[in-house]
Chains A and B, each alone.
Chain A
Amino acid sequence: MRLKLSRRESGLLQGIRRALPVRRFVQGICLLAFLVLFFYVCWPYGSRQYAQAFREREIIDAEIFLLLDPLASISAAIAARMLIWSWAAALGIVLLCVMFPRAFCGYICPLGTLIDGFDWLVGGRARLLTRKREGWWVNVRYYLLATVLAAAIFGVLLSGFVAAVPVLTRAMLFLLAPVQTGLWKGWYLVPPMNPGHILSILLFVLVLGLGLLGRRFWCRYVCPTGALFSIVSVLRLTERRVSLACVSCGKCLQACSFAAINDDFSTRSLNCTSCRSCRRACPAGAIKFTSRWSGRKDLPTAASASSEAVFSRRGVLAGLGGAVVAGAGASLAAGGPDASPVIRPPGSVPEYRFLQLCVRCGQCIKVCPNNVLQPAGFEHGFNGLWTPKVVPDWSGCEPSCNNCGQVCPTGAVRALMLEEKRAARIGLAQVDQHTCLPYAGHGSCQLCVDECKMAGYDAIEFIRVGGELDERGEPVEGSGRLAPVVREDRCVGCGLCQMRCHAINVKVKHLLKHSAIQVLAGEGKEDRIVSGSYIALHNERARRRNSQEARPDRETPGEYLPDFLR
């Protein structure tokens, strides 16, 4: 950022513009907005009414930047073969970038702004690795884009690995969110890391580290979201023009971070992000950003058509080949060492579709109170990497919270009303009668029952076990113990019971190795639907359970006081 005021310019406005160019201002606002949304709005604490507290803070969509990353929604939509509503946002940003080519990269993208900051802080000083000439990497981003889209056609979603905003949200989640939790809530509340965390952090370090090779190296050569905008730029309405006033000083070449200017100072239109740094640098005022068709005669360009984006046949083939391999590989590598069904957030669509829609951005994990949701590592295979899973040993899903669905940018987790969320089953709790203290005869315990009652589900009740009989065969009052039983018709699998048993009986009292009540997901235990009401589903199950067909022996109650009793 240039702070020196130019004496040649006059007027307050121009002064301010010199001091704080519009672009830097917009970039700052966007980065700030991103950070506020991620760390303040998506900070789920402050009230036990989690949904309400979040709603009150969320003035604009907390996941707005994820919605604005068109690669995320387009690839998810292709993978799942369905129209998702984030397309609207993608369409909006694409239209904007038709007006102002690649303005997303130059102005809005918070990752880009962070990279600018890194380049200024570190990249600008350490020039050891700086690459002066372009090499084989020039079109990597197009190949990556092709790979992501081709994989999506095969039903495998890779955009989470490389699309700009998911890379950033995940990095923030794994690097800074634990610090936030640690400082504000206590370090003991920070969940442990897994190899998935390390990989994601390394990826982010790599993205920033590329800055050592050149300014905005990631954005110029690697970012597939940027590549998508470059392709959109084919339809651009405005572009950069250089007039005959050009004195060939080369300052614009130095000012450009995006390799958008040829050696003859003409524009590589598909690279240009409309950032206007060159115009600010130009001493002759020869650079204009203007309509693509206006005043061609008045402002002849120094050189006509630009010559960027030269695709080598090898590159294209490599990209497509890579996509096929990735697609096939990911579907083969779907099963990990842990083959048991993963417990997904409430409102998650069916698992195959979930994996196609989830961009692995981690936004749901950030907004989840008490870290019930945690990112999977490699235990569920490559396809499960970074997807949110419920870890009931750590905590249970709060009945007053529906935040995860509210922030999911692609609808992998549906946005549910609180009442619907409370009816959406994510699993079913099961009591281990070999270890559960009352069953095993190791004393009384009602932690899970109390927890469930407090949560309002009332899905665990007592049964008397080990009762004694007297001589007449009648039960002895007060004999036996009361043990927990899960009522399948009420349990939604929130896992609060498991959390409580684990916290007290395992961690504090060391009475058990594992929680004696465990939530299991899977067919018949969870509600995974793309549309429709979970309450209706619940009622339908109740109706079927009670219906005459299911219980032909079932008797119906008669009159309260028939004549023979009067």
Chain B
Amino acid sequence: MMIASQPSIAVLLTIVTFSAVLHPWVCCAQDPPGDGQVVRTRAEVEALIQCMGTTPPDWWDSVELTYPPTLDLNWPLRPVGEWDARKNVGQYIWDVINPNPGRWREGIKLVHHLMIRYKEDREKLGRSMETLGHMFHDLTEDWARAAFWWRKSAEYAVYVDPISVAHCYWKLGSREMAEEVLATIPDDYTRHGALIKLWADMGEIDKALKLAERKAAGGMATIAYLTAGDTCRLAGRYKEALAHYEKVLTAKGDAGREEDVKRDRERAQASIQAIKVFDTLDVTRVPDGTYTANSLAYAGPLHVEVVAKAGRIQSVRVTKHEEKQFYSALRETPKRIIEKQGVRGVDAVTGATMTSEAIINATAKALAGGMRKKGP
């Protein structure tokens, strides 16, 4: 990864590093509250990555280093023997740490500890850094630290997914840095259309749609059209979105995994329904009351309870769900719906699209149910 080279930034970095030594948190400004996308200059983002990357998160000292006594701390590059989550570190992270939000921090602490343990082993050291980057990105949504450790691991010749790094830059507020990375990736070969989704998130709708068409032509039509539909829906282009979703239902001969294709179709179906509901929905005409509905999320049906009062959405509460991850969506999405006072243009929480969408869809259904109750 490229490190900033302008002299002023070097000065800034020196100051930052110096002050970081004196006072570890002095430079690590928190993101402003709310869901507004922050904008930072390249220099600011670089400083943030450097500063936060070199200091531990605020929860660091309150979390103990724990791991099962059966765990093989040598963590060979290839797992040895049968699948055994109690022995093999990678499998332990996969089976025990990832599914349990309560274990995420201790998992990060463990991987960090192992990384330092492999001081002399460049390969293992790099692999640990890459894993650490993933955990900061996927689990705690700590974009600066994720970017830091990913960039660090690249120094040890480990492959780092550029889309994920670009995602960090975008989340940290630098479109410029994100686009710089994304420009090097000509096509979306990802399982869930991550490249298309990120371009769409960044507002580059046409670019996203073009990539989707190419992905569809390349043999992954279902996910390609689904992401195209999502892209249009996010941009408020509902007619086009409907057309894309219809294509998901009719596409044939997909190269993707069978379960993925099946789930993508279900999601397209749910989105079609939701858009049709959105068209007629007018929050100001929903009579006071509490309404419930459900929609399909990642792991199963998700139920919401919406309270409408005086033509406003008073509260949105997820009452029942089977999600094992993506808890941030359960918190964030209802907040965004209330802020927007509607379901149109509420963007899904990154990394938790399905959960977010399910909340949005279910809320729309619930409110639509409320309008019907009122009658003509």
Give me the interface of A with B, judged by CB distance under 8 Å. 444, 446, 458, 461-465, 467, 469, 473, 475, 477-478, 482, 546, 551, 553-562, 564-566
Given the complex of chains A and B, what is the CA–CA distance between A556 and B117 in angstroms? Answer: 11
Instruction: Report chain A residues within 8 Å CB of B54.
Output: 561, 566
B23: Cβ under 8 A from any A Cβ: no
B85: Cβ under 8 A from any A Cβ: yes
Given the complex of chains A and B, what is the CA–CA distance between A561 and B54 in angstroms? Answer: 7
* A467 x B95 contact (CB < 8 A): yes
B58-74 CB contacts (< 8 Å) to partner A: 60, 64-66, 69, 73
Given contacts A461-B99, A473-B78, contact A555 B117 (CB under 8 A): yes
Given the complex of chains A and B, what is the CA–CA distance between A366 and B94 in angstroms? Answer: 47
* 8 nearest A-B pairs in the assembled complex, by CB-CB distance: A462-B99, A464-B95, A461-B100, A560-B56, A557-B65, A475-B94, A482-B99, A557-B113
* B103 x A557 contact (CB < 8 A): no
* A467 x B94 contact (CB < 8 A): yes
B62-97 CB contacts (< 8 Å) to partner A: 64-66, 69, 73, 78-79, 83, 85, 90-91, 94-96
When C-beta atoms are compared, the residue in chain B nearest to A551 turns out to be B69
Given the complex of chains A and B, what is the CA–CA distance between A557 and B64 in angstroms? Answer: 9
Instruction: Report chain B residues within 8 Å CB of A566.
Output: 54
When C-beta atoms are compared, the residue in chain B nearest to A480 turns out to be B95
When C-beta atoms are compared, the residue in chain B nearest to A558 turns out to be B116
Given the complex of chains A and B, what is the CA–CA distance between A444 and B73 in angstroms? Answer: 31
Instruction: Report chain A residues within 8 Å CB of B102.
Output: 458, 461
* B99 x A562 contact (CB < 8 A): no
How distant is B294 from chain A, measured CB to nearest CB, in Å?
16
- How many residue pairs, one in A and one in B, have C-beta atoms under 8 Å apart? 68
* B324 x A467 contact (CB < 8 A): no
Where chain A touches its partner, the secondary structure class is loop
B152: Cβ under 8 A from any A Cβ: yes
* B119 x A564 contact (CB < 8 A): yes
Instruction: Report chain A residues within 8 Å CB of B324.
Output: 446, 462, 482
B276: Cβ under 8 A from any A Cβ: no
B109: Cβ under 8 A from any A Cβ: yes
How distant is A560 from chain B, measured CB to nearest CB, in Å?
4
* A477 x B191 contact (CB < 8 A): yes
* A562 x B116 contact (CB < 8 A): yes
How distant is B224 from chain A, measured CB to nearest CB, in Å?
18
* B55 x A557 contact (CB < 8 A): no
* B300 x A469 contact (CB < 8 A): no
* B322 x A444 contact (CB < 8 A): yes
When C-beta atoms are compared, the residue in chain A nearest to B24 turns out to be A560
* A555 x B100 contact (CB < 8 A): no
Given the complex of chains A and B, what is the CA–CA distance between A208 and B113 in angstroms? Answer: 74
When C-beta atoms are compared, the residue in chain B nearest to A475 turns out to be B94
Given the complex of chains A and B, what is the CA–CA distance between A444 and B322 in angstroms? Answer: 9
* B79 x A560 contact (CB < 8 A): no
Given the complex of chains A and B, what is the CA–CA distance between A559 and B116 in angstroms? Answer: 9
How distant is A318 from chain B, measured CB to nearest CB, in Å?
63
When C-beta atoms are compared, the residue in chain B nearest to A564 turns out to be B119
B299: Cβ under 8 A from any A Cβ: yes
Given the complex of chains A and B, what is the CA–CA distance between A288 and B55 in angstroms? Answer: 91
Instruction: Report chain A residues within 8 Å CB of B55.
Output: 560-561
Instruction: Report chain B residues within 8 Å CB of A463.
Output: 85, 95-96, 99
Given contacts A461-B100, A558-B113, contact A444 B85 (CB under 8 A): no
